[in-house]
Each structure stands twice: as C-alpha cells, then as structure tokens.
C-alpha cells in the first residue's frame, strides 16, 4: 500500500497498538534543556525510576543562559539554579551535557543537526515546541510537555494518537529577497495560527527542494505556529551532504547502509494525505508580521487588513492596540528600535552570512540596537573564522554568545515595553520578548536591511 513519508517513519516506530486507537511509540533521540527537565528528573526519582536509555539523551543549556560573559557565573540566581540543576541531574543520571563553556553548547535545535544527532528516519522529542525543526531531515520530531519528558526518560516511549497527514506543496522560483522564512510566514498567514492543528505536515515542491538545510530547518521550525504537531521534508542529496562527516553521523560502511535506507524515505506517488494545499512560491513576497500571533503576517509592502466583524474581531482589535497599529495602514516607514537576529528559527551560519553580506561596509541606523545571537558555539566559531564578527562589529551589530536570548527573554536580553523589534525568531506573542515589547517577525535579510535603514522599507529596492 502506498505510504506517505510520515507513515513510513511512524509505522517503523510502533511498538504496539493498544485499545482505543493509541500507539506505544518509540523515541530514538531525546533532547533536553534546563527549563523543562528538572521536574521530570524529580518525578523519576520520586517514583523510584531511572533513565531507560541515557545514551539516547543529549542535554544543553540554552533557554536561560546569558549571552554575555558566559565564562563567568550566571548573575540571575534563579537562572543559575536552573542551569546548575541540569548539570547535577546530567551527572547523576549519566546524560551527555553540552553545557555553558562546552564547544558544542547552543540552542538545542541548532546543535542536534550540526552534530549529526539529527538523522533521517529517526524519531526525536524535546520539551520544546520547536522540536519540529529536526523534521527538515525527514525525521518525526515534535515538542512534548514535561510529563511526557518523564515518560520518555522512563520508557523511551510515548502513548500517542496518530496525527492526520497534510502536504503543503510550494512550487516555483523564489523572487529576489525572498527566503525560507518568507515562505513559512506566508504559509502560516494563509492557514492561521491553528490551521494545521491535529496534522503532521510534509513540505514538498520545487521551492522546498531548492532550499539549503538551514532554510528547510527554518520552514519546519515554524510548523507549530500553525498548530501542526510537526513538519517534515523528504531527505535528498542536500540532506545527505549536510549530515555526512558530522560528529555523530554514521561512518564508513554504516554511512552507505544509512544512505541506502534514507533514500527510501519519501511519500509514494499515490500516497493519500488527509489534506493537501498548494501554493505558488514565485508569487510570495518578503513577509512581516503586524500582530500578536505568527498567523498575522502580510507582504512587507502590503497594508494591515481591515476586519469586518466576526468572532475574531475582539482578538484582532486587542492585538492591533497592543502593537500600536491601525487596520488598513501600511507598515512602510515605521521606525524600528531593535533588531534581533537569532533563535532556533534563524541563528545558523547561513543566516549570519546573509546578514554580514548585506551590512558589509554599511552602518546600522544610530537609533537602532542590533543584536546577533549565534545558535551555537560552533556557529559562533565559524562566524569568527570567516571574519563575519568583524564585518558585523564594523556595521554596529553586537555579536553575542549562543542561547535562546531575546526570542523568549528568559535571560537579560529583553526588548523594553512599547519598543518595536524586528526579530528573526518565531513568535510575536504579547510580551514574548519582554513585557510590553512589540515584535515583528521577519527574515534575517529583512532584519539586516531594517537595522541599516532604521525603519521598515520595501526591501526589494535595497538588495545588493
């Protein structure tokens, strides 16, 4: 029987089906971090249990870490205690930890792929909704809550109902200045913030196949922003080339066997999806969000929609009031106070190269504070090796140390109340970047141009 990519991987991981349609589902790799793991370790201890497969867990400290002076003790006592707790738990339970100061430390969804932990055909979970990122490799990867973190720790399994399958096909050549981030912001703007709830999404089409692995990760990363359980892309030569020779990638004969298997991971031609959507990628323009959920996106040069009543009106009005925008107005010319380039969506070397290539020889606007937070120590070191740090510094951008940073503002990297921030992260929720902060989501290219101009512009007029 014809199968979708999702079904092939799902079926391979069914330990058994139980009454009521639930599945005991096996998890190959489990990523943990300091925020959603302490209660899980405690629960394990309280029940007299231990880790079933510690070798299938990798830990890092990312959500809560400072992005300056990582060589010094963390100032915030609560953040420090959470990071210390992770270190203690990893030592006690025998989990590999890439903590602060380690050469592999970084955002959990950046380090998994760059170390070759993320591989096609695997199942991966993490107590973080952006675990969908790893789907870019043809992996079933999704975020879980802390109770489920405990379950995977104890049994290496979860009890799941099988999601429905959706395929989103994006065909066509991208316009100049349009990137992976614009594709996914466009798709989310079409589906809305709950439009894929209950589905696992496969992204397909020539525009997806044409993306680098970094671009594919950006797309899969934001699957959760339209409610999807996860997103994935069939692995191909681009995937194999990225994974090859990475720290934990299969080596030698195992590599050949792995690739032979990975080449079977695609949706069969006559596979049936529960929902199919198609978009013309050549019509997509550089995108920006104007509201307080990621579904509230428009082309940069378009105007904010005007809503005529309906159940959404109250939330829409509340959102625009928070942002200080009016229905029907254009965003072009709006002054911006902060630019944040980072997060598990856009903090990889390709993102830093894009920004550096644009700002080389230019200066950020005087009133803008521009922060770049690399996704990992390895990204940071690569940027330095390529001299990007100097280019960015000369343009007035501050290159920080790795972490989740101002994406969720758990550390000191907060946007002040009322300030506007063009951010390459994934969520523009109220207060996400700090109480009262106003976030506009965009690509690294839009962010770089905005930093230089100091206001929102039609970027197609500014391309190098």
Partner 1 sequence: MEKFQTLRSGVVPLPIENVDTDQIIPARFLKATTREGFGANLFADWRYTADGQHKSDFVLNDARYQGHQILLAGKNFGCGSSREHAAWALYDAGFRVVISSYFADIFRGNALNTGLLPLQVSDEVLQGLFEVVAQDSQTALTVDLQAQTLTVPGWNEVIHFELDPYKKECLINGYDDIDFLISQEAAITAFEQQRSWVF
Site for partner 1 in 65-84 (CB under 8 A): 76, 78-79, 81-82
Binding of residue 85 to partner 1 (CB under 8 A): yes
Element at 244 (helix H, strand E): none
Binding of residue 227 to partner 1 (CB under 8 A): yes
Distance, in Å, from the CA atom of 278 to the CA atom of 272, rounded to the nearest integer, reads 15
Residue 287 in contact with residue 273, Cβ under 8 Å? no
Binding of residue 190 to partner 1 (CB under 8 A): no
Residue 325 in contact with residue 447, Cβ under 8 Å? no
Residue 96 in contact with residue 90, Cβ under 8 Å? yes
Residue 279 in contact with residue 169, Cβ under 8 Å? yes
Tokens coding 229: 């359980």
Binding of residue 344 to partner 1 (CB under 8 A): no
Binding of residue 417 to partner 1 (CB under 8 A): yes
Distance, in Å, from the CA atom of 172 to the CA atom of 207, rounded to the nearest integer, reads 6
Residue found under tokens 């928070």: 322
Binding of residue 7 to partner 1 (CB under 8 A): no
| Local structure of 201: helix, strand or coil | strand
Binding of residue 99 to partner 1 (CB under 8 A): no
Among 4, 60, 133, 193, binds partner 1 (CB under 8 A): 193
Q: How far is the CB of 30 from partner 1 (least distance, A)?
A: 14
Binding of residue 250 to partner 1 (CB under 8 A): yes
Binding of residue 410 to partner 1 (CB under 8 A): yes
Which range in 180-188, 208-216, 390-398, 429-437 contacts partner 1 by CB under 8 A? 429-437
Distance, in Å, from the CA atom of 18 to the CA atom of 20, rounded to the nearest integer, reads 6
Distance, in Å, from the CA atom of 382 to the CA atom of 389, rounded to the nearest integer, reads 10
Which range in 150-158, 275-283, 357-365, 387-395 contacts partner 1 by CB under 8 A? 150-158
Closest CA to 337 of 411, 418, 413, 407: 418
Pick the closer one to partner 1 by CB: 82 or 289: 82
Pick the closer one to partner 1 by CB: 258 or 422: 258
* Footprint of partner 1 on 284-323 (CB under 8 A): 293, 295, 311-312, 314-315, 318
Q: How far is the CB of 229 from partner 1 (least distance, A)?
A: 6
Pick the closer one to partner 1 by CB: 28 or 114: 28
Which range in 28-36, 101-109, 206-214, 449-457 contacts partner 1 by CB under 8 A? 28-36
Which range in 38-46, 297-305, 342-350, 352-360 contacts partner 1 by CB under 8 A? 38-46
Distance, in Å, from the CA atom of 93 to the CA atom of 108, rounded to the nearest integer, reads 19
For residue 37, what are the CA distances in angstroms to 21, 34, 95, 420? 29, 6, 12, 33
Pick the closer one to partner 1 by CB: 338 or 358: 338
Residue 92 in contact with residue 99, Cβ under 8 Å? no
| Sign of the CA dihedral with 329 first, then 331, 337, and 342 last | positive
Tokens coding 247: 């720290």
Pick the closer one to partner 1 by CB: 121 or 231: 121
Say which DSSP state 73 is in: -
Which range in 137-145, 173-181, 355-363, 392-400 contacts partner 1 by CB under 8 A? 137-145
Binding of residue 42 to partner 1 (CB under 8 A): yes
Distance, in Å, from the CA atom of 99 to the CA atom of 91, rounded to the nearest integer, reads 12
Which range in 34-42, 98-106, 215-223, 340-348 contacts partner 1 by CB under 8 A? 34-42
Pick the closer one to partner 1 by CB: 85 or 175: 85
Residue 293 in contact with residue 407, Cβ under 8 Å? no
Distance, in Å, from the CA atom of 392 to the CA atom of 370, rounded to the nearest integer, reads 10
Count of positions on this chain that bind partner 1 (CB under 8 A): 82
Cβ burial, residue 109 (10 Å; 0-12/13-18/19+): buried
Binding of residue 16 to partner 1 (CB under 8 A): yes
Among 54, 87, 96, 155, binds partner 1 (CB under 8 A): 155
Does 90 count as an annotated binding residue? no
Among 5, 201, 349, 408, binds partner 1 (CB under 8 A): 408
Binding of residue 22 to partner 1 (CB under 8 A): yes
| Residues making up the binding site | 344, 404, 407
Q: Residues within the annotated binding site for [4Fe-4S] cluster?
A: 344, 404, 407
């Amino acid at each position: 029987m014809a199968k979708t990519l999702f079904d092939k991987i799902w079926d391979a991981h069914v330990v058994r089906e139980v009454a009521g349609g639930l599945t005991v589902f096996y998890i190959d790799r489990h990523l943990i971090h300091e925020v959603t793991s302490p209660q899980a370790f405690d629960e394990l201890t309280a029940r007299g249990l231990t880790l079933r497969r510690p070798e299938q867990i990798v830990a890092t400290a990312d959500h809560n870490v400072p992005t300056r002076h990582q060589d010094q003790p963390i100032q915030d006592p609560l953040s420090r205690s959470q990071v210390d707790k992770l270190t203690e738990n990893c030592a006690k339970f025998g989990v590999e930890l890439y903590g602060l100061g380690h050469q592999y430390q970084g955002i959990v969804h950046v380090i998994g792929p760059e170390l070759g932990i993320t591989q096609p055909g695997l199942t991966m979970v993490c107590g973080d909704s952006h675990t969908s990122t790893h789907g870019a490799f043809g992996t079933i990867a999704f975020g879980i809550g802390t109770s489920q973190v405990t379950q995977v720790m104890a049994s290496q399994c979860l009890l799941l109902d099988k999601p429905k399958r959706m395929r989103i096909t994006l065909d066509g050549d991208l316009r100049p200045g349009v990137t992976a981030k614009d594709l996914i912001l466009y798709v989310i703007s079409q589906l809305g913030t709950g439009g894929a709830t209950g589905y696992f999404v496969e992204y397909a089409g020539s525009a997806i196949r044409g993306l680098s692995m970094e671009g594919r990760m950006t797309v899969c990363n934001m699957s959760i922003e339209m409610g999807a359980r996860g997103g994935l892309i069939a692995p191909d030569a681009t995937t194999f080339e990225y994974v090859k020779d990475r720290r934990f990638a299969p080596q030698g004969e195992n590599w050949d066997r792995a690739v032979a298997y990975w080449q079977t991971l695609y949706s069969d031609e006559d596979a049936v999806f529960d929902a199919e959507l198609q978009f013309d990628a050549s019509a997509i323009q550089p995108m920006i969000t104007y509201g307080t959920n990621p579904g509230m996106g428009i082309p940069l040069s378009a105007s904010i929609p005007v809503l005529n009543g309906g159940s959404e009106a109250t939330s829409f009005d509340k959102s625009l009031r928070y942002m200080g925008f009016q229905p029907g107005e254009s965003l072009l010319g709006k002054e911006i106070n902060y630019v944040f380039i980072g997060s598990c969506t856009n903090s990889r070397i390709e993102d830093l190269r894009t920004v550096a290539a644009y700002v080389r020889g230019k200066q950020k606007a005087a009133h803008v504070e521009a922060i770049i937070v690399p996704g990992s120590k390895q990204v940071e070191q690569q940027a330095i090796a390529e001299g990007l740090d100097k280019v960015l510094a000369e343009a007035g951008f501050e290159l920080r140390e790795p972490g989740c940073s101002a994406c969720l503002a758990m550390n000191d990297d907060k946007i002040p109340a009322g300030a506007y921030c063009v951010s390459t992260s994934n969520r523009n929720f109220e207060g996400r970047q700090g109480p009262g902060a106003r976030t506009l989501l965009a690509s690294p290219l839009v962010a770089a141009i905005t930093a230089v101009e100091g206001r929102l512009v039609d970027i197609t007029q500014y391309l190098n």
